[in-house]
Chains A and B, each alone.
Chain A
């Protein structure tokens, strides 16, 4: 007896610890949220590549987003019918490459990534890239022709101003950029603006970079996507990075603002080409960004899949959606049985049929509580009445129960039809009630009625209904549903708890009432 008890305790301890450990791991390491409704924002960034084919072999190569930003890529996908796809590494940059033997006419390739903002807004990542030393050859490619004559003089003026007002390299960069943009106040800036708008050889960013480099500041261009909702088919946004005090610092070439904007996803840095198309012409690439807010568990699953975490691979999320939905219900059954066990062992409530209340509660889940209760009571009442008529016909048991099943089906059909005609949608969900269980319940109740009288019927019927309603509340609790589905390993904890209850030899709550006369008399 003792050893048996300690054995059970050991098993219970093992089950509970295992369940909690796995759940804890999933929560703390894999990021499954403990509470429902926690959401994370993710972005779908889509690159649309368009070009016209030359009726020959085509090879399209797109630089993939730079690693080492505060965004992490969850998933990449592409849509390019008829193209072969591979990723290649080139000069330390990963590129996506699509190839096709023959392409003519207008071609479109979609390349989509899902990114998640993994770090808080202002956290600066000191990753390899921002720390890397500037190299001589990377940046020269992009530079515009040097400025001549009057333009040079105007530019020198701005540079001189910035140098005079600045205290260090970084403030110099900021002042220079601002100086170039102050078209309204500074004649030099307006003069340069004239050049920029009139001549496509000169772009603002190139001029800025040229001036910075001439002033002895190592500089490079960063191109990326601004993650703003409803930005459709935008070109990449250019930023300037300067190498000061051993690391790269980003500046907005329009405003002179220091630091990367929070929503800036760097795609390509320095002299690497963004898009190479061979065998096509008129190529261009545009970007769209859409934000979605997804439940945290979905995110955790996606990240887990990326990392090939076995726990996620073998979680219920690996199932097709339809089965997932089935399991949402199935996993609630243990909650119902736990309630039944609690009610019977700890409270001592009588129910008609051990697990009938759980099945009724499952039906309530579909119908919602009040309509469910009304439907249930109606069916039972009509069923009992018809069962009394049947009992006069002197039928064999199996035949009688079958008749009750048929009658129940009839009542269900009639209720659906009637409610549909009356426009009461809820009563249509009557089909979720388990007919056979209802028939047996009716049969049992009517026997109880005949043998013990209506009081016992109400006691056991009321008990069943009370347990069903309790189970319903436990099952519809969003927190419970969330936990059972996202942490099915908690089933082990429930199992352990049920085993423990199976060992409970204390009094039931209702026994305290039942045996009360025994302690009162003396």
Chain B
């Protein structure tokens, strides 16, 4: 009975084109992501420098600390800062990121409200340098970045922290996107498995499709109580173009691009991921596989970012009340 039930589930998931971990690793990451390109995305310093060189918008890099000694030299500068982010260059999955949003006479104030002193910072940085947050415990460097000031349009949807938009870019084509919103449960982190809310986004419009928390559908934000219905990401086209450009920049065929919307600077690339997770499918209520196969089936790939984004917005449009011009013909095949 149990086995039949599982087989039935397997059949249904397959039918919906849900991409599994094994297939992702084998048929996409293993095939489209050249191992030699990994260090570029695994090391945020390199990817940041690359982005700057390519003219892709990124949060401002204030300083790079390679040793505790350097931190001591930088201390006087640091004491003047009131808003910044500490980021281990090789940290994965948001590990080791410390967000400082304020300062008083006793120390700095973290995004979560906690207070840290200089020695706390020093310990955190020394842990990061020692490789505590990096893959395989390799020694690391720490970036100090300017704090991103979240676009206030999302204030109603986020408990703490800055919401980010994850886009899966396959061979330069954005194939799926979601917004990640921190909750009280996720402790201000935008990590889905820790309880952040994932909101699936229509590629054509940037409007919300559905939202999930812990894999279960939700209609409103658990903390702010605001319904996700009218969530619409501004600068959507620009955001997709930025994501798509990361393909040309890194050469990685299967890429996760995390973008934040800054109040002053618009979309900024926060992080690139060579092994993006699968939760985005649940946030969209859609499997990735049909879209990936659609892109694989394109006889000749479009050379320019704009063309690729056009293709994606047309082909993968979903929203019922889409105002985008190209979407009408595709709409019946992919009901929202």
Chain A residues proximal to chain B, CB less than 8 Å:
1, 345, 348, 394, 396-398, 447, 451-452, 502-509, 511-512, 514-519, 521
Contacts and interface: CB of A to CB of B under 8 A. Distances in A.
A482 B119 CA distance: 58
B138 to A, nearest CB: 11
Interface string B235-266: 00000000000000000000000000000000
A488 B6 CA distance: 36
B19 to A, nearest CB: 9
Contacts of A515: 13, 18, 215, 281-282
14 contacts: A348-B21, A394-B122, A502-B26, A505-B20, A505-B26, A506-B10, A507-B10, A507-B14, A508-B22, A514-B215, A515-B13, A517-B212, A517-B216, A517-B282
Interface string B212-225: 10011100000000
B9 A506 contact: no
B16 interface: yes
Interface string B1-16: 0000010011011101
B127 interface: yes
A451 B10 contact: no
Nearest to A502: B26
Interface residues of B, number: 34
A502 B9 CA distance: 23
Contacts of B281: 515, 518
A518 B22 contact: no
Given A507-B13, A507-B22, A519-B16, A397 B137 contact: yes
B131 interface: yes
Contact of A517 (B20, B122, B123, B217): B217
B290 interface: no
B107 interface: no
Contacts of B126: 394, 396-397
Contacts of A518: 13, 16, 18, 281-282, 285, 287
List of 7 A-B pairs having minimum Cβ-Cβ separation, nearest first: A397-B130, A505-B23, A519-B12, A507-B20, A394-B123, A512-B9, A505-B26
A513 to B, nearest CB: 8
Given A1-B31, A398-B130, A511 B20 contact: yes
Nearest to A393: B123
Contacts of A503: 26
A519 B9 contact: yes
Interface of B: 6, 9-10, 12-14, 16, 18, 20-23, 26-27, 31, 95, 119, 122-123, 126-127, 130-132, 137, 194, 212, 215-217, 281-282, 285, 287
A516 B127 CA distance: 39
The residue among B10, B14, B95 with the most chain A CB atoms within 10 A of its own CB is: B10
A13 B12 CA distance: 32
Which of A394, A396, A504, A512 has the most CB atoms of chain B within a 10 A radius of its CB? A512
B9 A504 contact: no
A515 B9 CA distance: 9
Contacts of A397: 126-127, 130-132, 137
Contact of B13 (A396, A447, A512): A512
Contacts of B10: 506-507, 512
A130 to B, nearest CB: 62
Contact of B20 (A394, A447, A452, A508): A508
A452 B193 CA distance: 10
Given A396-B126, A518-B281, A505 B27 contact: yes
Contact of A447 (B23, B119, B132): B132
B94 to A, nearest CB: 9
Nearest to B124: A394
A77 to B, nearest CB: 56
Contacts of A396: 126, 130
Which one of B20, B216, B285 has the highest number of Cβ atoms from chain A below 10 Å of its Cβ? B20
A517 B9 contact: no
B124 to A, nearest CB: 10
A117 B217 CA distance: 74
B133 to A, nearest CB: 8
B129 to A, nearest CB: 8
Nearest to B123: A394
Contacts of B130: 396-398
A506 B22 CA distance: 6
Nearest to B128: A397
B123 A506 contact: no
A345 B21 CA distance: 9
Contacts of B137: 397
Nearest to B126: A396
A437 to B, nearest CB: 14
A504 B20 CA distance: 11
A504 B122 CA distance: 46
A8 to B, nearest CB: 11
A504 B282 contact: no
B196 to A, nearest CB: 13
Nearest to B284: A518
A20 B13 CA distance: 37
Contacts of B9: 512, 516, 519
Contacts of B285: 518, 521
A498 to B, nearest CB: 14
Contacts of A519: 9, 12-13, 16
Given A452-B194, A507-B22, A515-B18, A521 B13 contact: no
Nearest to A509: B6
A394 B285 CA distance: 45
Contacts of A452: 194
A452 to B, nearest CB: 7
Contacts of A506: 10, 20, 22-23
Nearest to A444: B137
Contacts of B119: 394
A508 to B, nearest CB: 6
B150 to A, nearest CB: 23
B29 to A, nearest CB: 12
B118 to A, nearest CB: 12
Contacts of A447: 132
Contacts of B20: 505-508, 511
Nearest to B11: A519
